[in-house]
Amino acid sequence: MTRRRWIADEVSGNTAALVGEHAAHLARVLRAEVGQEFDIATGDEVRRGTITTIAYDRVEFALDTTPYRRLKSLPSAAPKITLALAIFKFDRMEWAIEKCTELGVARIIPVIARRTDAHLATAAVKRQERWERIVRQAAEQSRRVAPPEVAAPVKLKELPSVLPTGELTRVVLAESEEDTRLGEALQSRSSEVVLAVGPEGGWASGELSWFLDEGWVAASLGETILRAETAAIVATALALEEYA
């Protein structure tokens, strides 16, 4: 039976701990008991952990030191994918964040687009902590070693300042059938890819022009028009498959 994986909040030598709500979920919701074993991701590896103490807001584990019981770290996704995701209705956006985390994105940047509702743009500033919880839970569910980074929301023209440095393949999803298909746009084989996914209704024409002026490649997912959350998931999956 596959053991559930937890991403440690604290690690010191051969001891790890979950704290706060993270610990409360294991202790209260899952009714953990002293002596139970789980896989514990400690940042650079995954080790077997046995619960030694349980409190309301803290669960501690003794980490196995026997070499044959250390587990091989999961490889990072190749390429590293940054998802620049325009902010749209939170329930559907958060579903996309969860699923793209399970697929293996390395970073998520919420973007305030022209078609982002004003109240969503305002509320997004206070939403980052919730998004960080979502990606941590999704990372544990999918047995990743670490969750993706979730950046603070930015306006579109601020996006270049928060992108990874180095050689990047930058692709903005567009809905025109005349645009390059995503697979073709990824042929450069850069080690890092940035996918920009617009809100419902897509990027405004001025925004799309901005992307092209900045050197992004416009790419299509095909003849059908997908909802924003579907487009984000499909684009992430296709990018990973292209490099497989």
177: pLDDT strictly greater than 60: no
Q: Which residues constitute the domain of residue 55? A: 5-71
Last residue of a domain, one of 71, 104, 120: 71
| pLDDT band at residue 74 under the 50/70/90 scheme | very low
28: pLDDT strictly greater than 90: no
Q: Of 67-81, 185-199, 222-236, where does the model show the most confidence?
A: 222-236
Average confidence (pLDDT) over 76-92: 86
- C-beta of residue 87 within 8 angstroms of C-beta of residue 153: yes
73: pLDDT strictly greater than 50: no
Percent of the chain scored above 70 by pLDDT? 91
One domain, residues 50 and 121 = no
pLDDT reported for residue 155? 96
One domain, residues 111 and 223 = yes
76: pLDDT strictly greater than 60: no
One domain, residues 16 and 131 = no
Last residue of a domain, one of 71, 104, 125: 71
One domain, residues 49 and 67 = yes
Assigned token pair, 117? 């509702």
One domain, residues 129 and 201 = yes
17: pLDDT strictly greater than 60: yes
220: pLDDT strictly greater than 70: yes
Sign of CA dihedral 30, 131, 8, 144: positive
Last residue of a domain, one of 45, 71, 97: 71
Number of domains in the chain: 2
| pLDDT band at residue 194 under the 50/70/90 scheme | very high
82: pLDDT strictly greater than 90: yes
One domain, residues 212 and 176 = yes
pLDDT reported for residue 30? 87
One domain, residues 100 and 148 = yes
CA–CA distances in Å: residue 244 to residues 12, 25, 169 = 36, 35, 16
Sign of CA dihedral 82, 98, 6, 71: negative
One domain, residues 53 and 93 = no
Cα 152 from Cα 107, distance rounded (Å): 11
- C-beta of residue 46 within 8 angstroms of C-beta of residue 74: yes
One domain, residues 33 and 132 = no
Q: What is the CATH number of the domain that holds 125?
A: 3.40.1280.10
Assigned token pair, 36? 């139970």
One domain, residues 65 and 98 = no
Cα 153 from Cα 116, distance rounded (Å): 12
One domain, residues 41 and 141 = no
Q: What is the CATH number of the domain that holds 61?
A: 2.40.240.20
pLDDT reported for residue 56? 85
One domain, residues 192 and 104 = yes
